[in-house]
Chains A and B, each alone.
Chain A
Amino acid sequence: DAKTTQPPSMDCAEGRAANLPCNHSTISGNEYVYWYRQIHSQGPQYIIHGLKNNETNEMASLIITEDRKSSTLILPHATLRDTAVYYCIPGYNFNKFYFGSGTKLNVKP
């Protein structure tokens, strides 16, 4: 399974874009990159996933570098409710999603 590196914490002003980076340099060719978040001890929540192309949904955008060794999750207009721990998880084998330590995003007024 690919290992990931994420900054332990980041701050973002409310209304601004939050850009959360993830390094997954050992990702294999058929592994997707999944992003989840966990808001204050609730169950983790799916945000977005992608393989090669950039992806966008109603929650966020995902930018994956051409070599697929890193990605960035973008929350275009962060709100206080986006304060959470964000996890980047490479995987294709749904039987073993390994959660790392993630990035604690603090959205401030």
Chain B
Amino acid sequence: DTAVSQTPKYLVTQMGNDKSIKCEQNLGHDTMYWYKQDSKKFLKIMFSYNNKELIINETVPNRFSPKSPDKAHLNLHINSLELGDSAVYFCASSHRRPPLRSYGYTFGSGTRLTVV
């Protein structure tokens, strides 16, 4: 299936731990994103990578470090997890310079992170 896939789907961890979330897309897109959806349901962009190059970093703490080994993968590593990091994290992908009939973003199904 062509899609954006994230792992794990659920992640429960203690404060202070370090964790990673992985994202892969097989849509041939050249740009990938991380969005955070908090308890109030607002979706906020965190990072964007184009062809492995960081192009957006939206005032995210240094504890969050994205890594893009290739244009089909974008992982999110979080150090020293805090209670406030609890949220649903969505990965997405798109063409940066889309064809005329592009559909914008394709989102993954999300990773629900709970910090206890």
Contacts and interface: CB of A to CB of B under 8 A. Distances in A.
Interface residues of B, number: 30
Interface string B7-45: 000000000000000000000000100010100011111
Max chain B C-beta neighbours (<10 A), residue from A34, A44, A85: A44
Interface in B53-102: 55-56, 88, 90, 92, 94-96, 98, 102
Contacts of B104: 34, 36, 46, 49, 91, 94, 97
A91 B45 CA distance: 14
Nearest to B98: A94
Interface residues of A, number: 19
B56 A96 contact: yes
B88 A41 contact: yes
Contacts of A85: 41
Nearest to B97: A94
Secondary structure at the A interface, as helix, strand, loop or mixed, is loop
A57 B116 CA distance: 44
Nearest to A34: B104
A46 B103 contact: yes
Interface string A51-94: 00000000000000000000000000000000001000001001
Interface of B: 4, 31, 35, 37, 41-45, 48, 50, 55-56, 88, 90, 92, 94-96, 98, 102-110, 112
